[in-house]
Amino acid sequence: MASNIIIVIFVTSLATYLSRFLGVVSAEKIKETSKMFRWFNCLAYSTLAALIARIVIFPLGSLSEIDYLIRFIVVILSIFVFYLTNKNLVYPTLFSAIMLSLFSTYL
């Protein structure tokens, strides 16, 4: 069993880092102002937005026990913190985790 886990970790790491390496190698030839680059950028942001919406609206696990209103309040407050901290992702992430735990405990 332990050897299977090591093989799985190795294969997934290889796939992850190989694709990142190929992205770095090929990124030198891509212009940031090209239509293809902007399309991939929009695709990445839309995928991220869809995943976040899925987590907030249809959560799994312990997050599903928290009320919808609390989740939406935390999302709105986290967006506010995101813009308040000059689009830094660390502070809203920590803020949302703390606020979810506080709201779920005391409300």
Using pLDDT thresholds of 50, 70 and 90, give the confidence band for residue 1: low
CA distances 19 to 22, 66, 103, Å, are 5, 37, 40
pLDDT of residue 106: 83
Angle, CA 66 vertex, CA 73 and CA 48 arms, to 5°:
60
Please determine, for residue 32, whether its predicted confidence score (pLDDT) is greater than 70.
yes
Please determine, for residue 3, whether its predicted confidence score (pLDDT) is greater than 80.
no
Please determine, for residue 25, whether its predicted confidence score (pLDDT) is greater than 70.
yes
Other Cβ atoms within 10 Å of 100 Cβ, number: 19
Please determine, for residue 85, whether its predicted confidence score (pLDDT) is greater than 90.
yes
Report the mean per-residue pLDDT for the chain.
Answer: 87
The residue-averaged pLDDT of 67-91 equals 92
